[in-house]
Structure 1
Amino acid sequence: MQKDEELHSTARRNSIVRRIAAGFSIAIAIFSIYVLGRTFSAVSLTDLRQAIAATSADQIATAALLTFVSFLALTGYDALALRQLRTRVSYGTTALASFTSYAISFTLGFPLITAGTVRYWIYSQAGLGPSKVASLTIVAGVTFWFGMVFVIGAGLAFQAEAISALNHLQPALNMLMGLGALAAIFAYLVWVTIRRRHVRIQGFRLELPGLGLTLGQVTLGVIDQCAAAGVLFVLLPHHGELDFFTFAATYVFACILGVASNAPGGIGVFEAAMLKAVPIASQESVLASLLLFRLIYYFVPFVLALAFLGAHEGFRRQKSLREAMRQSDENAPIIDDIG
C-alpha cells in the first residue's frame, strides 16, 4: 500500500515537472516569434539580399571548414562512448552513425527519436543491441552538454563584463555563475575519479566514464561548440570587432534556449536570441549571416547524411545479394556430363 502511494506521488511530481517544462518551452517559443516578427517587419528584403551577396567566398570556405571540424569532433563523441562501453566498432561505421544521426537530428529535432533510430539502424548491423545503442546515446549526449557548460561557464567567468552588456546582469553575478558552472565540472571530475560510478537512466544501469575519458569528453565538447560558434562568427560582417569567447558563450546560450524550446534545430528561437545579443547595427546583415549559417551547418550536412544513408543501404543490399548468389552457386547440384 505504501509502495503504491510512493509510486503515485512520484508520478504526480513527474507530471508537474513535465507541465512546467512544456509551459517554459511554449513561453520561449512565443517570445521568439514576437522578436522575429518585429525584426522581419523592419527588414528590407533588398538589403537582406545585398548582405548575403556581400559575404565573401573566403568567409563561406572558412565556415565550411569549421563545420567539418565540428562534425569531426561529433564522431569522437560516439568513439569515446564505444570505448566506455568496451565495444569495438570500426571508425568508418562509427563516423557514419555519428555524422548521420547528428545531421538529421539537428535539422528535424526530437533527437531521442531521430538520432536514436539512425544510430540503431547502423550499429545493429555491427552487432550492437538496443541497450548498447541506448547507453551509447546517453554517453554521447553527456559529452555534448559538457562542451556547452564549459564554454558558457568560461565565457561568463572570464568575459563577465562583456557579457553583462548582452544579458544586462551585473558582471559579478555573471562571474559567479560562470565559476559555479566550472566548479560543477571540476566536482564531477573529482567524483568520477574517486571510484567507479553507476547511474540508472530509463531503466538502463550505466557505468560513467572515469577521469581520462571524461577529460576527453570535455575536450571534444569544447572543440565541437567552439567550431560550431566559429561557423556563425566568420559569417558575421565585421566579426573582427567582436570578441570570440564572448560570442561563443552567447552562441551556446542561444543553443540552450533552442534545445529548451523543443523546436527542430532550435529554429526561430536561436535566431531570435542571436538577433538580440549580437551587437551589430544592421539587422539585415545579421539575418543574412544566420541564413547562411543554417544553410552551411544544418542543411548541407542534412543532405549529405541522407545521401550517405542511401549509399550505405545500397551497398549493404548489393553485398547481401552477392553473398546470396555465391551461396546459391555453392549449393547448386553438380551434374556430370556423360556424353
Structure 2
Amino acid sequence: MKKWAPLLWIPMLALAGWVLADRLEAIDFHDVRQQVLAQPPTTMLLGLLFSAGVYALVGIYEGIAVRMASGRTMPLVAFRTAIISNPISRAIGLALVSGGALRYRMYAAVGLSAREVATVVVLAAMPYFFSVGWLIDLSLLLNAETAAQALRISTGTVLILGVIGLAKDIGWLTFVIRRKTPLTMGGQTLPVPTLRDTSLQLAIGLVQISLMTGILYLFMPDELNMSWPAFIAIYCIAFVAGQLSNVPAGLGVLEAALLLMLPQVPPAKLLGAVLAYRAVFEILPLLIALGLLLMFESTSSRGFLRRRLLRR
C-alpha cells in the first residue's frame, strides 16, 4: 500500500479536473482576465503585504524549529532555508518530501544531521496542522448558517461537526498538559511537545492561515457576500483538500473546491480572484525562492571548488 501512496494525487487531480471541466463550460476567460486586471493597486499591495507577513512568520518559526531540533541558533540560515523551501515545495507538491530534500541539502551544509533535519521538517508542519483545525472548527461554530449554505448541509450538522472538532482540539491541548513522558511508536521515541511549544505553534499557525485567507478574501468579488471570519472555514477546507491531494500547489483542487462551495460567486470572477491570489502568494515567492536557491548553489559550488584547489 505504501508504494502506491505517492500516486494518490492522480485520482484527486482527475476529480478536480472533472469538476473544473463541468464549471468551465460556461466561463468566458476574457472575464477572468478582466477580473484579474480590475484589482485596485491598493488591494494588490495589501495582498503582497499579507503574503510577506506569511513568509516572514514561516522564516521566523523555522529558526525556532532548528533550535528546538538541534539546540543551535542560526536564524539567518533558517530564514533563508524556509523562504527557499516553502514556495518550491508548495509548487512541486508532496511538501514533506520535497521540502525535506531541500532542507537537508541546505542544512547539511552547516552541519545538521539527517535526524535533526527530519525533526525540523515535522516541526515546520506543526503550525499548519494545529491551526487549520482550530480555524475550521471555530469558524463553523461562529458562522454556522453561512457554512451550512456553502457546505450544503444543515446548520445542526455544522454545529455538531464544529463541536466534535473543537473537542478534538481541546483534547490535544489537554494531552500535552497532562502527558509528561515521551510516546513510543514503531520502536521510535517521540517527545511530547510542551504546552509552551504547542501554544507557540498554534499562535504562529493561526496568524499564518488568517493572512493566507485574507489574501484570497481581498481579491474576491462583492458577490461573495460573506465576512472574513465566515470565509476562513471555506478557505481552510479547500486548502486542506489541495494539500491532501499532493497535487503541485493544489492546482485545480483548490479551484474546484471553491467553485463547489461558493456557487453564488460568478465562476469567472472566482477564478480571477484565485489567479490573483496565486500570483501574489505562490508565483512571486516561487521566483524569489528560485533566485535565492541559484545564489546558494552558486556560492556552494565556488566554496567546493576552492576547497578542492586548496587540498592540491
Give the TM-score normalised by structure 2: 0.90
Q: 1:69 to 1:35 in 2, by over 3 A?
A: same
2:207 to 223, 246, 249: 223
> Aligned equivalents of 1:185 and 1:112: distance in 2?
23
1:301 alignment partner, one of 273, 279, 285: 285
> What is the aligned counterpart of 1:264 among 231, 234, 248?
248
Structure 2 residue 124 is the aligned partner of structure 1 residue 135: no
Identity level (%): 24
C-alpha distance in 2, partners of 1:92/1:215?
A: 24
Q: CA deviation at 1:208?
A: 2.6
Q: Is the 8 A contact 2:173 2:195 kept in 1?
A: yes
Q: Tell me what 1:42 maps to.
A: 26
CA drift at 1:57: 1.0
Structure 1 segment 129-278 matched on structure 2, within 5 A: 129-200=113-184, 204-238=188-222, 241-278=225-262
Evaluate the alpha carbon distance shift between residue 197 and residue 77 of structure 1 in structure 2; reply closer, same or farther with a 3 A threshold. Answer: farther
TM-score with structure 1 setting the length: 0.83
Between 1 and 2, higher relative CO (CA 8 Å, sep ≥ 6) is seen in 2
Structure with larger Rg: 1
- Aligned with 1:97 (options 81, 84, 106): 81
Return the match for 2:276 from 285, 289, 292: 292
1:84 partner SS: helix
Give the C-alpha shift of residue 155 in structure 1: 0.8
CA contact (8 A) 1:135 1:204 kept: no
Q: State the Cα distance separating 1:112 from its structure 2 match.
A: 2.6
The separation in 1 between residues aligned to 2:49 and 2:185, in whole angstroms, is 36
Q: Which runs of 5+ in 1 are unaligned?
A: 1-14, 332-339
Q: Which moved more, 1:33-42 or 1:69-78?
A: 69-78
Q: 1:31 to 1:314 in 2, by over 3 A?
A: closer
Amino acid at match of 2:169: I
Residue 14 of structure 2 corresponds to residue 30 of structure 1 = yes
1:3 corresponds in structure 2 to none
Equivalent position SS for 2:64: helix
Partner SS for 1:85? helix
Question: Does the Cα contact within 8 Å between 2:223 and 2:266 map onto a contact in 1?
Answer: no
User: Using a 3 Å threshold, how does the CA distance of structure 1 residues 84 and 187 change in structure 2: closer, same or farther?
Assistant: farther
Distance verdict in 2 for CA 1:197–1:27, change over 3 Å: farther
Gaps of 5+ in 2: none
* Cα separation, 2, equivalents of 1:192 and 1:164: 32
Quote the offset at 1:204 in angstroms.
Answer: 4.8
For 2:223 and 2:47, how far apart are their aligned partners in 1?
13
Q: In the alignment, is residue 313 of structure 1 matched against residue 297 of structure 2?
A: yes
Distance, in Å, in 1 between the alignment partners of 2:206 and 2:252 is 24
Aligned-residue offset at 1:119: 0.5
Instruction: Return the alpha-carbon distance in structure 1 between the equivalents of residues 58 and 158 of structure 2.
Output: 29
Q: How many residues matched?
A: 312
Q: Distance in 2 between matches of 1:129 and 1:233?
A: 41
- The 5 Å alignment of 1:29-108 reads 29-108=13-92
- Counterpart amino acid of residue 172 in structure 1: G
Q: 1:240 to 1:259 in 2, by over 3 A?
A: closer
